[in-house]
């Protein structure tokens, strides 16, 4: 069985720099399963950064940062020094060397490495859209989205939204809870934009139990009860049928694999 290592990638810009380097490095370890779904672009808020670092510590993750803000960099360094969380800073050591060599201060402006072309702006817009309309926060986003992901808790809706956003898809997602009525707006979305995520109950139970454990909560709660999970999945399948959503089984699929299948489905529904 492969050893699993979560990677938390944190950036105050899009985060492409860290992703490219991480992909190059992880390719050298084919027998390790790297979970790269934890991506946090456009980081500006110090409180949010501290919360993400706490989650990374609980998950036993490696943190990779491309932060040009000295304040945010200091927070990461102090947190990791205090807690033993492993991290690598891809920006500051190089900037420090250039400063020592030239005496020229860095700009500390995020995103200056990218050309400001239309493709870049579209990617930024899609990422901001995914953040704004994550977790059903605002039903108005459903009609504006290229893709709307539906699924019960812990079916990778948010990581998939962010991954697809990096490929310039505007993605909203909606958690399905049997006790919560569907918003009326979701019923107006063309079925070609709807993707329902399903997962094997036993796999879902393991994921939820692990999540509870990482939060220090009781593992025998209703949230991880197999009967409850099956009931939620039955409800979700009923919603998919009602709305005509494309159903995708994400059991044991990486974020990249699931996102590729979703993108292929969307492309197949483009008008000729």
157 is in an annotated binding site: yes
Mean of all residue pLDDT scores within the chain? 88
Mean pLDDT, residues 153-169: 92
pLDDT at 107: 63
Structure confidence at residue 184 as a pLDDT band (50, 70, 90): very high
pLDDT tens digits for range 187-236:
999 999 999 999 999 999 999 998 888 778 887 789 999 999 999 999 99
Coil/strand/helix, residue 8: strand
Decide: helix, strand or coil at residue 96.
helix
Q: Is residue 151 annotated as involved in ligand binding? A: yes
Q: Would you put residue 108 in left (φ > 0), alpha (ψ -120 to 50) or beta?
A: left
Q: What pLDDT score was predicted for residue 110?
A: 53
The model's pTM: 0.63
DSSP 98-116: HHHHH-PPP---TTTTS--
The answer to the question of whether 155 is labelled as a binding residue is yes
What is the reported pLDDT for 144? Answer: 96
Please indicate if the annotation marks 37 as binding a ligand: no
Confidence of residue 104 (pLDDT cuts 50, 70, 90): confident
Query: How would residue 14 be classed by pLDDT, with cut points 50, 70 and 90?
Result: confident
Residue 159 has pLDDT above 80, yes or no: yes
Beta carbons within 10 angstroms of residue 201's beta carbon:
18
Domains annotated for the chain, with CATH where assigned, are 5-114 (3.40.50), 118-268 (3.40.50)
**For residue 112, pLDDT beyond 70:** no
pLDDT digits (tens, 9 = 90+) for 20-62: 888 888 888 888 888 888 889 888 899 999 999 999 999 999 9
Nearest to 165 by CA among 127, 116, 136, 195: 127
Yes or no: say if 195 and 265 are a contact pair by the CB < 8 Å rule: yes
- More confident call, 137 vs 68: 137
Q: In terms of Cα–Cα distance, which of 158, 188, 189 is closest to 173?
A: 158
The answer to whether residue 116 scores a pLDDT higher than 60 is no
User: Is 158 marked as a binding-site residue?
Assistant: yes
Q: Which residue has the higher pLDDT, 241 or 13?
A: 241
Model pLDDT, residue 239? 98
Give 79 or 24, the one with higher predicted confidence: 79
Per DSSP bridges, beta strands 194-198 and 62-66 are: unpaired
Q: 203 a known binding residue?
A: no
Nearest to 155 by CA among 255, 84, 72, 74: 255
Whether residue 39 is annotated as binding a ligand: the answer is no
Is the model more confident about 92 or about 230? 230
Decide if pLDDT at 155 tops 90: yes
The per-residue pLDDT for 271 is 60
What is the rounded CA–CA span in Å between residue 252 and residue 202?
A: 11
Residue 95, pLDDT > 90, answer no
On whether 115 is known to bind a ligand per the annotation, the reply is no
Mean pLDDT of all residues in 7-14: 88
Q: Is the pLDDT of residue 114 over 50?
A: no
Of 9-23, 98-112, 158-172, the range with the highest mean pLDDT is 158-172
Q: Among 9-18, 90-99, 102-111, 260-269, where is mean pLDDT lowest? A: 102-111
The neighbouring-strand residues paired with 230 are: none
Q: What is the largest CA-CA distance in the chain?
A: 64
- Please give the Cα distance from 151 to 138 (Å, whole number): 16
Average the pLDDT over 148-169 and give the result. 93
Cα distance between residue 66 and residue 18, in whole Å? 6
From the number of C-beta atoms within 10 Å of its C-beta (0-12, 13-18, 19+), residue 61 rates as buried
């Amino acid at each position: 069985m492969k050893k699993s290592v979560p990677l938390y990638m944190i950036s105050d810009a899009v985060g492409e720099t860290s992703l490219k380097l991480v992909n190059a490095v992880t390719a050298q370890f084919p027998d390790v399963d790297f979970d790269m779904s934890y991506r946090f672009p456009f980081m500006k808020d110090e409180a949010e950064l501290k919360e993400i670092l706490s989650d990374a510590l609980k998950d036993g993750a490696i943190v990779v940062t491309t932060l040009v803000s000295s304040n945010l960099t200091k927070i990461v360094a102090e947190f990791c020094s205090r807690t033993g969380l492993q991290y690598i800073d891809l920006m500051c050591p190089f900037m420090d060397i250039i400063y020592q060599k030239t005496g020229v201060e860095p700009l500390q402006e995020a995103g200056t490495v990218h050309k400001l072309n239309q493709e870049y702006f579209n990617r930024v817009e899609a990422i901001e859209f995914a953040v704004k309309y994550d977790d059903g926060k605002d039903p108005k986003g459903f009609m504006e989205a290229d893709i709307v992901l539906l699924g019960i808790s812990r079916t990778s809706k948010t990581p998939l939204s962010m991954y697809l956003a990096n490929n310039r898809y505007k993605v909203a997602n909606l958690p399905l809870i049997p006790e919560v009525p569907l918003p009326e707006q979701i019923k107006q979305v063309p079925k070609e934009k709807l993707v329902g995520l399903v997962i094997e109950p036993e796999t879902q139970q393991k994921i939820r139990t692990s999540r509870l454990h990482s939060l220090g909560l009781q593992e025998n709660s209703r949230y991880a009860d197999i009967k409850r999970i099956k009931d939620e999945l039955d409800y979700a399948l009923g919603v998919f049928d009602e709305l005509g959503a494309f159903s995708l089984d994400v059991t044991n699929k990486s974020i990249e694999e699931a996102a590729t299948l979703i993108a292929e489905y969307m492309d197949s529904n483009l008008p000729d």
